[in-house]
Every structure is written in C-alpha cells, then in structure tokens.
Amino acid sequence: MVMNTPPTGPMLPLPAATPTTSVTRSEPQATWRVGQVLAAMVVANPQPGVADLRIGSLLVKAQTGGLPLSPGQTLRLEVASLKEMPVLKLLGLMQQNPLQQALRDVLPRQQPLPLLFTALARLATPTPMPTAQRTPNLSPEIVRLAQELLAKLPDTARASTGDGLRQAIRDSGLFLESKLAPSTSSTAQAQTPTTKPAELASDFKANLLRLVQAIRDNAANSAPAAARANPLSSAGLSAGAPATSALPTPPLPTALTTALAAATVAARLPASAAIGPGTLDPGAPLQRGLPPLPPVPLAQLVKGQELAFSLNELQRFAEGALARVQLHQLSSLPQERAPLPEWLIELPIRRDNETDIWSLRIGRDAERERDAPVDADPVWSVMLAFDLPGIGPMQSRITLRGDRVTAQFFSRTQGVLPLVAEHLPLLQARLQQAGLRVEELTCHHGEIPKPKPPPQTRILDEHA
C-alpha cells in the first residue's frame, strides 16, 4: 500500500504487528491514540519499501515506500490513523549521541594488549622458534616498525621517576589528538600547527597507526608511499586538521606524579616464592568509575591454546590494540552527569625483554570531595593494577589532597602481603623526600572496594 507523502511528513502504514512479549495484535489500537508521539528503532529492511520497527515491546512491519531508512536509526512517529490499518507519520529522525555510537563501533574490535606484545616480541626474536611460532613472511618495513614500537616504550627505570612517568602517560596514546590539534596564534589570529615530529616518535598510538597501515599495505600487496609517509592523515589525524575527540593532557599536580612514581618503585619488590596465575577478571577494558583490574596471563587470554602467528593474526592484534586505545580515549571524554575529570590509561612498560601492562585510572575523587568543605583542596586519586613476577596481580590506590598522601595496596594472594608491608617504610621515605605528608600506608587482602559508580554513558539500551 503506497501512501502519498504530504508536506508534513511521510506516512508509514502498519499492515502487521508481531508481538515480542505477551502483548496481543490489537495492542496498537488498544493503547495508541491519534496524535500520540512514539519512539521507534529500525531493526531491519527485509525488502525494498518495508522496514521492521521496534516500538515499545512490539516488532512491527511498516510500508515505507521510497523512504530511505537503515537499521539502527531511531525515529519520532505520530499516530495519524487507527482505522483498519494503523498509520504513523514520520516527524523526524532522533539525534543519536555520537559518543555512544562511537563506543558501540569500537567495543567489538578491541583486543587485550598482551596479545599484540607477544606477537611483536616474536618478530623481534632472532633465535629459531617452533614452527607454530615462526613469523610469517612480512615486509622489512613491518619488522622495523614493530621493533621501533617496542624500543620506544618507556622502561621501568624511566617510569620510576616523576618526569619519566609524566612523559610515559603523555605518550600512552590517550593524548595523541591533543598533540596534533593546532593552536591559535594570539598575534596572527590564525591556526598554526605546533606539533613536532619528535612528539609523535614515542607516542604509542601514533606508532600503532604506522604499524597497522604497514600491515594493511602488506596484506593488500600494495604499499602506497603517501599513506606510509603520513599514516596519521589516513586516520583523520593529520597535524593540520582539528581533532574532534582531543583529550587535554591531565593537569596533574607534580606531587601526585611524584607519589605515583614512588609507588611504582615500591611495587617492584624482590621475587618471592612462586605464585600461581591470577584469578582476577579477564582482559576487559577499563571502565569509568570502576577500579582497574590486573592483566590476565596470556594463556588465559588464548584459553590455553598455542597462539597462532600469521599475518592475519598480527593484523587483528594490532587493530584490536588500536581499538582498545580508542575505547579508553572515548571513555575518558567528559561526561554530562560526571563532570569531574577522569582518564583511563593502559601503560605498557618495558622490563628486560618483557612488556608489563600497568592499568591506571586517574581522576578527582568525587566521593571524598562530596563530604569536604567547599574551600577544601581537590582530592586526586590514582588507582593502579599490575602483575609483576614474584608478587602476582595487585591493585593500588594513591590519594592526594594538598600535600597529604595515602597509599593502599591490595592482593588476593595472602602470602604476598608481608613482603609488601616490609617495603612500606621505603615508600614512606620516598614520599617524605618529595615533600609529602604521609597519612596512611597499608596493605590489604582482597581487591580495591568498588566505589558507587557515577552515571555512565550507556553503550546498549535495552528499552526502545
């Protein structure tokens, strides 16, 4: 049935209604009224001129004529008629939250970082390996970029200093777009790029983009010189273009960075008795408002199977790592209902020939500030999660208000706690040397208590 399209909007006749719950076919006539405005989502386009719409608890088929609709679109509809066949008038497309859509797009593609670093370590290993672990026939460019990516990661010695840790956080990939965003000259009143190549040389996301581009070129057996010369432009990140999701570099107090560096020194304790693999949750990305979890062992990520190594796998791991960085960038963007700043960072740190993943959640502590006087100093909090040889999976929380600092360490392995407690005096001395007043240094069995999470951006909405 084709309806003429009046100036006020297209008409969508509903020749059939299929209930998805216990509703009856007569529900539209029984509960809708002429003039009522409904929200609908396009589920599918099974054939030209027909669309499956979800309206409340109903899945209905609508005759759309030549109206172009695509799955996932949300519509505003007005009930125009309820006679023999309900007719709905299209009032317009509802605006979708671009942040929600970006999160939906990137979430299925992300992969835990240890998968990529294991693959890159094999590329950099010159010694013979079992057949299943041998590297595929890759171009020299891919091998070079993989080795450079590993070599330019911060090492434990550098990350154990305040300045080194600050630079490592800046180069974590979370702030790449901020480096690329042009600044406005106050004299010329014109936008001029200020990013220097050296600023991008050690940026994790920038190096990932170069590696991904080279792998794609190798896989397609074509390597456009322009794309390889400036792979950032192919991803919409050229220095001359404004970044749409640029994150400001965190204005962290110097004392907090120093305290964090001191805590990472204390975390590198001597090896103790062998500790079994951690039992904390599995390779999930960081979540806003929740403490980070330690990384899981590689064997747990691959479910105990031998990690296959091929060009396709390398591409999947590299693109998955890039999507994971993007996911943490999106999750760190300011939220309407959670205005206090918060950054979610996975920091790869080189330790000899291994790569450790330090998970960080940096932000203002809303719970503690809520009960403080209006003129009190802001409360900054850093939560860390890591898994190091000899101590296993651990979490730590460092809180700073003014020059007063507290640090707590958490482990689910009871036998590690005495070793941690033994090194707390060293941590206290380091913090006092930095000019901080130590209020609390403790270690606990278990995990960081989960705070009441702030309102979050919903990635999936189960209600139409």
Task: Give the integer Cα–Cα distance in Å for 435 and 180.
Answer: 35
Task: Give the integer Cα–Cα distance in Å for 373 and 64.
Answer: 59
Share of the chain above pLDDT 90, in %: 33
pLDDT in tens, 364-380: 887 787 777 777 888 99
pLDDT band at 432 (very low <50, low <70, confident <90, very high): very high
Q: Taking the mean position of all CA atoms in its chain, how far away is CA 195? A: 24
- Evaluate if residue 352 carries a pLDDT over 60: yes
The pLDDT assigned to 175 comes to 92
The pLDDT assigned to 372 comes to 72
pLDDT in tens, 165-181: 999 999 999 999 888 87
Beta strands in 365-426 (DSSP E): 379-388, 392-401, 404-411
Beta bridge partners of 355: 350
Rg (the chain; Cα; Å): 27
Q: What is the DSSP string of 229-298?
A: H-HHHHTT--TTS--TTPPPPP---HHHHHHHHHHHHHHSPPP-S--PPP-S--SPPP-TTS---PPPPH
Task: Give the integer Cα–Cα distance in Å for 285 and 360.
Answer: 11
The pLDDT assigned to 18 comes to 37
Over residues 118-143, the mean pLDDT reads 68
The pLDDT assigned to 299 comes to 72
pLDDT in tens, 90-109: 887 766 667 777 887 888 88
pLDDT in tens, 212-228: 999 998 887 644 455 44
Task: Give the integer Cα–Cα distance in Å for 126 and 147.
Answer: 12
| The most confident of 125-129, 186-190, 293-297, by mean pLDDT | 293-297
Domains identified in the chain and CATH numbers: 11-95 (2.40.50), 101-183+191-445 (no CATH)
Residue bearing the bigger pLDDT, 159 or 454: 159
pLDDT in tens, 34-52: 888 888 888 888 788 888 8
The pLDDT assigned to 246 comes to 54
The pLDDT assigned to 249 comes to 55
3-state secondary structure of 379: strand
pLDDT in tens, 224-259: 455 445 544 444 343 333 333 456 555 555 665 555
Q: Taking the mean position of all CA atoms in its chain, how far away is CA 418? A: 34
From 82-86, 190-194, 289-293, the region with the lowest mean pLDDT: 190-194
- Evaluate if residue 199 carries a pLDDT over 90: no
CA distances from 211 to 24, 141, 245, 369, 455 (A): 55, 9, 22, 43, 36
The pLDDT assigned to 112 comes to 92
pLDDT in tens, 271-301: 333 333 333 345 789 988 889 998 887 777 7
Dihedral, CA atoms, 451, 454, 456, 462, nearest 10 degrees? 80
Task: Give the integer Cα–Cα distance in Å for 118 and 298.
Answer: 8
Q: Whole-prediction pTM value?
A: 0.68
Asked if 38 and 3 count as a contact pair (C-beta separation under 8 A), the reply is no
pLDDT in tens, 317-339: 999 999 999 999 999 988 766 67
3-state secondary structure of 77: strand
Residue with tokens 């899945």, as numbered in its chain: 59
From 59-73, 244-258, 354-368, 391-405, the region with the lowest mean pLDDT: 244-258
